[in-house]
Amino acid sequence: MALAVRLHDDVRVAPVVVRAGRVLRLSPAARSLLDGREVEATDPARAALVERLLDLDLARVVGGRATLPLDLLTVVVPVHDDARRVDRLLAALAGVRVVVVDDASPDGAALDDVVRRHGAELLRLEVNRGPAAARNTGLRSVTTPYVAFVDADVVVTPETLQELLGELADPGVAAGAPRVRTRHGRRWFERYEDARGSLDLGPASATVRTMSPVTYLPSACLVARADALADGFDERLMAGEDVDLVWRLLADGRRVRYRADVHAWHDHRTTVRGWLGRKVTYGRSAAPLARRHGATVAPAVLSVPSAALAVAAAAQRRWSLPAVVALLVRSYVDVGRALPDTTPRQRVELVAFGVRTTASQVAALLLRHWWPLAVVLSTRSARIGRLVAVAAVADAVMAHRKTRPALDPVRFAVGRRLDDLAYGAGVWSGAVRERSLRCLLPTRPPRTARPS
């Protein structure tokens, strides 16, 4: 059975398809291939349409996903002194080929006992070299065509790995990952993490693209073609090595997919200090990544009209409202010129999406990436102070409404702000260490991007 997809419910079939700022022109021939709202890749033309719809996240898979046997897969587990959780993971993966890489654990005997009891393979590094080196050591031992990297503090089932292997049945797809979540939080910061985990890429499956809602996949649970990984992870990176790997795959023209409908479960940090410390570590990876990948790491992607709109709104002057209105009208006209086949409603949708995206990016700059500057400037300017306060409240309210966490709005807002403060502190720390502010600078959209 060939792969079949169905357009998302909020996509309307027309000469121009618009969804969340993404635009696709459908020729009459392409529209004729749609059976209602579905298309099955039964011939080259339909297969090309299916790939395009999936790549732009305009459709979801509804059938025909191929099944690959699990004996084509080897799971690599990097670990440093965590025999208890390795025991739990290996029990969950009974019957799957697993290689555990001991990254110079102080208590290697305990880990050896667990691995032998479950019939897995154990490789040991004599010197602690970090998770990237441990994963690469395991990768070099893999003889199967597919490999999965699973961290010891993750629980995943063979069924989840089987679903991800289905993505790799497409020869153009190099890697895939499930939604990585935490659960059963009791303390307030654990319940916040259940709703807004750092490794949780959200409830919508997507094709991974730079400068998009899903830009990378976490190596906490990642399935890939072994021959697509070349030298594997960059061992010089102590964090962000998974981001670097995925971006290198994308640069090589490979496709990478995120499956939100299958889950892996990641353990909570057990203390507030540990929870925030991990956010700092993630933030520190931005500067080394910027040195390797340039503007791909930019904290915001703003066109000149979007930046002008943000400045006009933030200025809080008498001229701000007329300027904002004029800029919105100009955006509407520009969309019409660039995409003449769009309806007035679609043009409004594109402009509205652009406004929402600009607002969320500016809020993230103020509250997350640039917060040290925002704090200093707020003490010197009442206007900036009001802007930061409004952004902080609006951001927390919108995030609480979107995620519906098992946590009251006040403590959720506290968690949200602490999350941003810790990550931003890490970004600045990494920038100082790398002696470069590149990871803090916004960038402009690629010239090939559609107006939005």
pLDDT at 447: 65
Say how many C-beta atoms besides its own lie within 10 A of residue 254's C-beta: 17
pLDDT at 449: 40
Interval 334-369: pLDDT, tens: 999 998 988 898 899 999 999 999 999 999 999 999
Looking at per-residue pLDDT, the higher value among 13 and 355 belongs to 355
Q: Answer yes or no: are the C-beta atoms of 38 and 5 closer than 8 Å.
A: yes
Looking at per-residue pLDDT, the higher value among 452 and 273 belongs to 273
Interval 131-154: pLDDT, tens: 999 999 999 999 999 999 999 999
Task: Please state, in angstroms and rounded to a whole number, the distance separating the CA atoms of residues 415 and 421.
Answer: 10
Instruction: Please check the confidence at residue 451 and state whether its pLDDT lies above 60.
Output: no
pLDDT at 14: 77
Which stretches does DSSP call E strand in 206-335?
Answer: 206-207, 221-225, 255-266
Q: How confident is the model at residue 450 (pLDDT cuts 50, 70, 90)?
A: very low
Q: How confident is the model at residue 28 (pLDDT cuts 50, 70, 90)?
A: confident
Contacts of 106 (CB under 8 A, 6+ apart): 81
Q: With the C-alpha atoms ordered 107, 108, 110, 115, is the resulting torsion angle positive or negative?
A: positive
- Helix then strand then coil, % of the chain, to nearest 5: 50, 15, 35
Instruction: Please check the confidence at residue 446 and state whether its pLDDT lies above 90.
Output: no
Query: 375-390 burial string, b = 16+ CB within 10 Å, else e?
Result: eebbeeeeebeebbee
Phi first, then psi: what are they for 272, rounded to 5°? -60, -40
Task: Please state, in angstroms and rounded to a whole number, the distance separating the CA atoms of residues 254 and 142.
Answer: 21
Using alpha carbons only, give the angle 356, 200, 94 rounded to the nearest 5 degrees: 155
Q: Which of 136-145, 225-234, 293-302, 336-345 has the lowest mean pLDDT?
A: 336-345
Q: What is the CATH number of domain 70-268?
A: 3.90.550.10
Interval 195-214: pLDDT, tens: 999 999 999 899 999 888 89
**Bridge partners, 103 (sequence order):** 125
Task: Please state, in angstroms and rounded to a whole number, the distance separating the CA atoms of residues 212 and 95.
Answer: 37
For residues 31-53, average pLDDT: 88
pLDDT at 103: 95
Interval 304-338: pLDDT, tens: 999 999 999 999 999 999 999 999 999 999 999 99
Which stretches does DSSP call E strand in 14-95?
Answer: 16-19, 22-25, 38-40, 59-63, 73-79
186 burial type by CB count under 10 A (0-12 exposed, 13-18 middle, 19+ buried): exposed
- The chain-wide mean pLDDT, for the chain, equals 93
DSSP string of 140-189? HH--SSEEEEE-TTEE--HHHHHHHHHHHTSTTEEEEEEEEE-----SHH
Instruction: Return the domain boundaries, the chain.
Output: 4-62, 70-268, 304-440
